[in-house]
Amino acid sequence: MTDTARPAPWYLFDYGMVVSTAPRHSDWAFLEQATGLNLRSASSSYWASREAFDAGKLGPAEYWSEVLGRPVPPADLDQLERLDAAQWSHLNPQTIAVLETLRSRRAKVALLSNMPRGMAEWHLDGSGWVGYFSRLYFSGKLGMAKPDPRIFHYVAAELCAHPEDIVFIDDNATNIAAARELGFRTILHTSQTDLCFELSKP
């Protein structure tokens, strides 16, 4: 008799606003003090070129020069990169609890984040949360970003998994729609999401 049981799923997490929380008021204040600009608004220069930065199409000097509207000295650039990484380093305790549970069950857990290369390296160098994941994929290192279908195809191939055997958790509805279109099982993460309950569904 042929065994037709489905393999155990991969749980594929986004980072920002899923594993991490939003930057705090004090984080934006430090960044704004360093730049002299109000950056927290969704229409600010911080966000205008962020997708290109996340996808590795802009390096740090190019990105921050666009944010500030002028060239950035190396010392200032290092400070801006540190402040930016730090403001996305606050962990979501509810998600961490779920990751602890998944680790205790020896589940297959991976991360797919739209994150610039420098920030990814900053986290990989000393952030404890990376230990929850057996595979980590960052857009800045891959040169492509969600919701580009290529990044989902790449990760599925890397995980040796069919899309229907991957549960993708992300806070961005556009990313969720792109993954679902490719056959991934998806969970749109919001502040109201009971992730433990959602992951218990067959």
- Summarize pLDDT for 82-117 with one digit per residue, the tens: 999 999 999 999 999 999 999 999 999 999 999 999
Query: Cα(12)–Cα(47) distance, rounded to whole angstroms?
Result: 25
CA distances from 7 to 118, 167, 184, 201 (A): 35, 12, 14, 15
Residue ranges of the chain whose pLDDT lies below 50: 1-2
Shortest CA distance to 137 belongs to which of 93, 170, 94? Answer: 170
pLDDT of residue 89: 97
Q: Is the Cβ–Cβ distance between 178 and 149 less than 8 Å?
A: yes
pTM, rounded to two decimals: 0.95
pLDDT of residue 6: 79
